[in-house]
Amino acid sequence: MRYLTAGESHGPQLTTIIEGLPAGVPLTEEDINTELARRQKGYGRGRRMQIEKDAVQIMGGIRHGYTLGSPVALVVENKDWTHWTKIMGQAPLDSEASEDVKRKITRARPGHADLNGALKYGHRDMRNVLERSSARETTVRVAAGAAAKKLLSLLGIEIACHVLEIGGVQAEKLPYTSLAELKEKTEASPVRCFDSNAEQKMMDAIDQAKKNGDSIGGIVEVIVEGMPAGVGSYVHYDRKLDSKLAGAMVSINAFKGVEFGIGFEAARKPGSEVHDEIGWDPEKGYYRKSNRLGGFEGGMTTGMPIVVRGVMKPIPTLYKPLQSVDIETKEAFAASIERSDSCAVPAAAVVAESVIAWELAAAIVDQFSADRLDSLQMAIDEQRRYAREF
């Protein structure tokens, strides 16, 4: 499985083409729109979320509600495009029309792709960079993730996300009975947090950052249950599944770190408090007596829940802008301001859930017979049976 995305933040639309979905997967626009709506929620979001009401159009690869095995094309229109047609239009400009193009950006914003992208591609107007490097692109990554989540659910694999920390306010790691309970409570939370005591403190921190013209980041966690053991590989470095999940997590805009299980805490503990002892039960087969390694050993799934966290830095577009340099005049200026969120951690959790779902689904499709959904379901069931009886 693979996908490509295309489109700019203020262009006419965002597009993704997905290849490799098995035939026979039930997938509707409603399935995808549910995930797109989740991405737009969250305390601290900016005015853009009031303008855009994201809805997908399925343009190919699905007939009567089921995938065909051919590429699936998805489109999300940008409602704000009507105000940007002169600025972001595709047609060549004549000399007179070029004078109408406004909002040229020559002042690189610290923390963004602006300057590096301009140096790479030779753009004197850095809008050519920021329009594509914008987190708006994650809209169709969530759309692709929705397709992956649907496939995983049909294979008995469930996934959820929640926020652990915002702006230094840490949620207590409270027990929950099921992923369904975790989902229900966090989806009702403005900051997607399971700990109701930390919820208000997080919102207060977001309000204070906005008042200060600043931004704050945080930590999100994705949990996956039901993955069969042995998915991934120890044979080649580039086929280790935990490596792919780590790469997917830090590919999200503003994400700067990732950990599994107890993560970096393992550096401060002896091996006896890090590794997971193995047990066996006639009903469930092999299992781990703990899950400190977050569901992975040797680059492969253990069958235990996958627990992966990502850290998101504060959004670098600030209303008290940082100092920068104009690439035309070389003079120092306050960096330009685009519409921005003071905190996007709750929304970023949904993006993290989506990219992790994609990598897991892709690994399963790569490893098992997957032209048809029914044959893939049988292959996964057989893998689970084999692991229990091994």
Binding-site entries for FMN: 132-134, 253-254, 298, 313-317, 339
Report how far residue 24's alpha carbon sits from residue 212's, in angstroms, rounded to the nearest whole number. Answer: 52
Binding-site residue set? 39, 45, 132-134, 253-254, 298, 313-317, 339
Convert 83-103 to b/e letters by CB count within 10 Å (16 or more is b).
ebeeebeeeeeeeeeeeeeee
Q: Classify residue 173 as exposed, middle or buried by CB count within 10 Å of its CB (0-12, 13-18, 19+).
A: exposed
Report how far residue 207's alpha carbon sits from residue 216's, in angstroms, rounded to the nearest whole number. Answer: 10
> For 41, which DSSP code?
-
> What is the residue whose two structure tokens read 């704000």?
80
What's the one-letter identity of residue 194?
A: F
For 294, half-sphere exposure in the C-beta direction (CA atoms, 13 angstrom radius) is: 21
Binding-site residue set for NADP(+)? 39, 45
Q: Can you list the positions of beta strands (E) in the chain? A: 2-6, 13-19, 56-60, 62-63, 66-67, 72-77, 158-166, 169-170, 218-225, 255-260, 278-281, 285-288, 296-297, 300-301, 306-312, 323-325, 332-334
> For 64, which DSSP code?
T
| 295 contacts 288 by C-beta, under 8 angstroms | no
Listing from the earlier edge strand, what are the strands of the sheet with 13-19?
Answer: 2-6, 13-19, 72-77, 56-60
What is the DSSP code string of 224-236? EE-PPTT-B-SSS
> What is the residue whose two structure tokens read 């790469």?
247
